[in-house]
Amino acid sequence: MEGHLYTKTPRAWEALARPDGLDRRAHTLLLMANGRRSLRELSRLLDEDVHELARRLTAQGYLLDNQAPALADADDEAA
């Protein structure tokens, strides 16, 4: 997960329009997740480890792991 790149989902964009629906840490992480920053970089920018928060937001449908489809495609090609 360290090098994975996360981007916002439509659900995240909706939540960002209503910032009272998320806690401050989640709101900040969603703002900064742009599909070009790794979890390591996001952790450094936010001055805290955001791995667990990113996992939670992904499970809740707010973040999308940009590398997941690429890995699935590679597995399909190898088969």
- Report the distance separating Cα 40 and Cα 24, nearest Å: 19
Residue 25's domain spans which residues? 5-78
**What is the number of structural domains in the chain?**
1
The predicted pLDDT at position 79 comes to: 45
60 pLDDT exceeds 60? yes
pLDDT digits (tens, 9 = 90+) for 15-28: 999 878 899 999 99
pTM of the full structure: 0.78
Residue 40 has pLDDT above 80, yes or no: yes
Does the pLDDT value for residue 53 go beyond 80?
yes
